[in-house]
Structure 1
Amino acid sequence: MKKILFYFLLLSSFASKAQINVSFYADPDELKQLKTRPLLVEVIEEDEDVLKKLDKPKKADELADYKKFIVDFNRDFKIYAQKYWTFTDKMEFKTSTEIKALQKAKDKSYAVLRLVQLNDKGYWGVKTNQNVPAIAFTRIESNIIKTDSKIYLPSRNLNNDKSLSEADYKYALTILQANVDWIIANNKVLNFDKYAEKMAKENVSKLKGKTLLVEDNMLAKGRTKEAAIKNYGGDLKFVPEAELNDALVNKAKNTAVIYTAPYGIVKSNAPFVSMSTIVYFKIIVDCETNEILWLYMPGAMNWGANMSNQLTEGEFKVMADLKII
């Protein structure tokens, strides 16, 4: 399956405070009811403001990429939503315009599965146009900036085509549903950040003895595979994206894969200086069970932590020690 270009969702860009809204806006009973609603999978449309911004000779390639993204994303999201979304078999596909019309008519009968951009809220420093892409599962009547549940999408901007694979969709859709089910079963709301941390702490012992697959471009410049393997002390393999994708899609036994995804924006607080950057977490998932086995999601107090979309030898030592950050 041809993959989709995702880089435009992270347009802008350049380390403190998290700047996006990570909250879930439904309680357990509301999520339980949400699962029973027929589902609308949103078909995104070209944004007139983006088209105007890119309608310049020097931005011709960006405009072509943007238009291609819309087509490719809609095609792939439709395929993988049908394959990996299990809450309901009552699924329809409607454009953003059609969903807005239902909202205007005060329709409250649908759930919506959609791509959202978690924008910089300007909680700290100068507000930027940076954002973090996510998939949201939410009530149709909910405000798009206050969605009921969501999960950050994996990053592929290290790849030449900066695109998502089938495994990326499987990871996001299955774990989002598991997060919702956990909330309902435990009658307690945990957003993705807290849920992933809890699952990692409960499951990290299962990482021992598994083959860990790491995409071969995830190691930071100047770092060596030999040092990473030594620090990990287990069966660690650096592989092409296609091999990592196949392992998760085909439920490879005794195998885990590591993902990186953006989860926030941090800004400097230096006087008269405005700098900000997208920050990334790392997560290990069991290919056979889709369980979260390990998480590296540094907070503001983790001074010196690696918040880039690549790995250093240090993170492999953290994995070997079964530590969750």
Structure 2
Amino acid sequence: MAGLSARVERWPLAAAFVISRGAKTEAEVVVAEIIQDGHRGRGEAVPYAHYGETASGVLSEIEDVRPRIEAGIARGALQGLLPPGAARNALDCALWDLEAKQAGVRAWTLAGRTRLDPVKTCFTISLGAPEEMAEAARANARRPMLKLKIGGPDDLAAVAAVHAAAPRARLIVDANEALSFDDLRRLAPDLARLDVKLLEQPLPAAEDEVLEGYESPIALCADESLHTRGELAACARRYGLVNIKLDKTGGLTEALALAAEARAMGLGLMIGCMVATSLAMAPALILAQGAEFVDLDGPLLLVRDREPGLAITGSLIEPPPAALWG
């Protein structure tokens, strides 16, 4: 028999995190712990309001499956027990952590990898006035990659300001569904001239079928349009890359399967995150191996991280210590 507990934690942000849909000043996360035979497995997830999730709702979902978890459910069986989302992510990652500790190996070994290499993450510049975004870019100009949020077609000046403030940084622009197709066609050539490497989720997910047949001058990446393998075929007709997040897939198990299938279809990978602590980032580092773009900067946006956390030097993230996860 296993013991299960789950709780809500709140971690203050160093600055407001602003995207096209709103702002937040703290990371609200749900942590699940499974204890069995003296070993403890942990998983952290972020309830996402855009997908109808709340912290209390995620806790209720976890509570509903308590009997199955405490009876010793396998990770594979969990996939059919809960839908994709934060609750399944917290439990799935806790089961990975527990299994690794029980086996006396690292979680990446269970995932079929012989080692885990450090990865370089981008750093996110929140949506704001051009001068504010430029100031944030100057403060982070030595980072190899910056990801800037935009909120509509009038934000080209902000992109230009960031490019001028950090001319050596590779740039990703994330619209979070804020553009129309006409906006995209007008903006894309200018973004390409500003040497933007990737445009993430330009259109609302429900409207992105118009991208089929569109020859974009800049690489396009699906985010809100992709949760699990169920949306992958449609995304492959509309995008060149997909952003895989554990909170969308419902854990590392589905995320690994999704990444493998996406690669087989010729899609590039971006490994992303919600704003959370190192505990949420650690499983995603397995996915991030070899990805074209990595966006696991959640801990860099917090006032403080959990202890022990990930060792991050500049933008370089080292593999997690076993005391953290996996």
Shorter chain as denominator, the TM-score bin is: under 0.3
TM-score by length of 2: 0.28
TM-score by length of 1: 0.28
Larger RCO: 1 or 2 (CA < 8 Å, sep 6+): 1
